[in-house]
Amino acid sequence: MKKNVNVNEWIAMYREIGLDQAQMQQWHKVFETRHPDGHQGFLEWLGLPPKEIDRIRAASK
């Protein structure tokens, strides 16, 4: 079993349960608002580059 899940695998799971782009963005906003450090750690765990993490977090505020 892999230790990490990449971003494309994570998005595929969201799509499989019916989340669209707007719902995924709302999920990021809630995560960033409630648990900013956890959100940072999650994005790092997905293996995203720092500039992409910064972009996602800025859009989630």
HSE value, Cβ hemisphere, 13 Å, CA-based, for 15? 7
| DSSP notation for 8-47 | HHHHHHHHHTT--HHHHHHHHHHHHHH-HHHHHHHHHHTT
Q: How many Å apart are CA 6 and CA 19, to the nearest integer?
A: 18
Domain membership of residue 11 (yes or no) is yes
Domain membership of residue 34 (yes or no) is yes
Domain span at residue 37? Answer: 7-59
Domain membership of residue 1 (yes or no) is no
The two structure tokens encoding residue 52: 């992409």
pLDDT given for residue 19 in this prediction: 97
Considering its fold, how many domains does the chain have in total?
1
pLDDT digits (tens, 9 = 90+) for 4-33: 889 999 999 999 999 999 999 999 999 999
pTM (two decimals): 0.86
Domain membership of residue 2 (yes or no) is no
Residue 3's pLDDT band (cuts 50, 70, 90): confident
